[in-house]
Chains A and B, each alone.
Chain A
Amino acid sequence: MTYPNEYKYTKDHEWAVLKDEIVTIGITHHAQDALGDIVFAELPKVGRTLKFHETFGVVESIKAVSDLYSPVSGEVIETNSSLSSEPSLLNQDPHGNAWLMKVKPANSSELNDLMNADQYTSFVQSLK
């Protein structure tokens, strides 16, 4: 599995990418693979202000509940409504159509502290 080069990654297996002043956030391929069949995603309300690393929702597989941590502080401006009817999209396209939310960052330099694709790939390898 290749991880997109333009994305940044957290140790909790979220990805984040900054484009036109907006950060789009999702979970990684590794996260969906570890969880298995994802059956439910609970996302924050639009307008909510998140702190760095604050819990913003959960994804649930048949077996487990997994918390989601925000890779950046800021205001939630959109969440992915297609996930409520089709949570399995998170298994199929975690780096693309199954993005979780878009955030207007309070301090986008927080992203600089996250891992790049190479670092994250090594990190995932180290977990095996």
Chain B
Amino acid sequence: MLKRTPLFEEHKKLNGRLIDFGGWELPVQYTGLSDEHLNCRENVGLFDVSHMGEFIVEGSDAETFLNEALTNDVKKLIPGQAQYSLLCYENGTLVDDLLVYKYSTEKYLVVVNASNIEKDFEYMSSFHQKGKFKCHFQNKSDSFAQIALQGRHAEKILQKLSQKDLSKLAYYHFHEETLKNGIPSIVSRTGYTGEDGFEIYCANEFAPKLWETLLELGNEYQIKPCGLGARDTLRLEVRFPLYGHELSDKINALEAGLGWVIKFDKEKFIGKEALLKIKEEGLKRKCVGIKLLAPGVIRQDYKIFSKDTDKEIGFISSGTLSPSLKTSIGLGYVESSFSQIGTKVSIEIRSQKIDAEIIPTPFYKRNY
């Protein structure tokens, strides 16, 4: 039996095409992937991301617990701020990537990928027990719904519902409030599309009303619901990594290009020694952006070859036809000596080698 979010009936009403996404029955698209993608870029899109996992950490050791588990520096956060961080294995490969929301030094919300909820919770619980941290660590995933409102008109739409001045809510900051329609929520200026926007958390029971209200209020701004298909192409165009693609237990955090969220000046965190060693020895491979130079579509697991020597040098971790750029783009891992921008490579597609090039990322930048 597939799990359903509290918005399942909304997706059916909107004729969403439901698929099995890591055990969740969610819409891959409503009207069409490309249409939803472009509308989010040009106007605004609404996403059900209630499948994401939420953990609550509460108690006097909450900060220490998270700081010793995760790679980024939790101590740099102020209350009301969010931070992107990583959970690593001792060998420096990835358990998950996640967001940490700080309420106070004694209370945090941790948001993880849907397909990793159980794994992450077990892994962090075991670390929590071993360290005898004085804090509660709870999996509250089943009681949180999450709706993402993304696009240049997001603030104008949500402002109609918010009691606060959203122009003052900075990127990667959040606040709690009861919205004008009576829904207690967490409003966070974050997202996974490269557009301005918000992620709004509320209790399951309020999710359908919040979803319907946002669609109504967004009507004058051409809002459209977006499925998982558009969520994936939007994030890929701005080079946001995705667990199971760019990130996995076979890829270390440094080769993924996530050194900026690894704080080696912290006394300890899981994976520190291994990552330090990897850093000192130099990276064997790197995550790069790739553009196909001929018709076709790059896909995950396609092999990458050197154009000059025909040697196999890596693999594609994510690929698509970019709806914004109308050309096929992808992310992939190549041996470090081939990772320079402008390097000519070829991608094996159904036994044929197709020309491609390593290009700068993000592939798309917003212009407002």
Which residues of A pack against B, CB within 8 Å? 36-37, 39-40, 42, 58, 60-63, 65, 84
171-213 of chain B: CB within 8 A of chain A = none
In the bound assembly, the distance between CA atoms of A63 and B230 in angstroms comes to 10
Contacts of A63 in B (CB 8 A): 28, 33, 229, 320
In the bound assembly, the distance between CA atoms of A75 and B229 in angstroms comes to 38
A-B contact pairs, 30 of them (CB 8 A): A36-B29, A36-B32, A36-B33, A37-B32, A37-B33, A37-B323, A39-B321, A40-B295, A40-B296, A40-B297, A40-B321, A42-B296, A42-B350, A58-B350, A60-B296, A60-B321, A62-B33, A62-B34, A62-B229, A62-B233, A62-B320, A62-B321, A62-B323, A63-B28, A63-B33, A63-B229, A63-B320, A65-B297, A65-B299, A84-B295
Contacts of A36 in B (CB 8 A): 29, 32-33, 229
Contacts of B320 in A (CB 8 A): 62-63
Tell me, rounded to whole Å, the shortest Cβ–Cβ distance linking A24 to chain B.
23
Q: Tell me which of A36, A39, A40, A62 has the highest count of chain B C-beta atoms within 10 A of its own C-beta.
A: A62
In the bound assembly, the distance between CA atoms of A63 and B297 in angstroms comes to 10
In the bound assembly, the distance between CA atoms of A72 and B249 in angstroms comes to 46
In the bound assembly, the distance between CA atoms of A62 and B297 in angstroms comes to 8
**Residue total for B at the interface (Cβ-Cβ under 8 A):** 16
Which residues of B pack against A, CB within 8 Å? 28-29, 32-35, 229, 233, 295-297, 299, 320-321, 323, 350
In the bound assembly, the distance between CA atoms of A37 and B229 in angstroms comes to 11
In the bound assembly, the distance between CA atoms of A123 and B297 in angstroms comes to 31
Closest to B17 in A: A36
Tell me, rounded to whole Å, the shortest Cβ–Cβ distance linking B283 to chain A.
31
In the bound assembly, the distance between CA atoms of A60 and B292 in angstroms comes to 15
Contacts of B321 in A (CB 8 A): 39-40, 60, 62
Closest to B326 in A: A39
Contacts of B29 in A (CB 8 A): 36
Contacts of A40 in B (CB 8 A): 295-297, 321
Closest to B299 in A: A65
Contacts of B297 in A (CB 8 A): 39-40, 60, 62, 65
Closest to A61 in B: B33
Contacts of A65 in B (CB 8 A): 297, 299
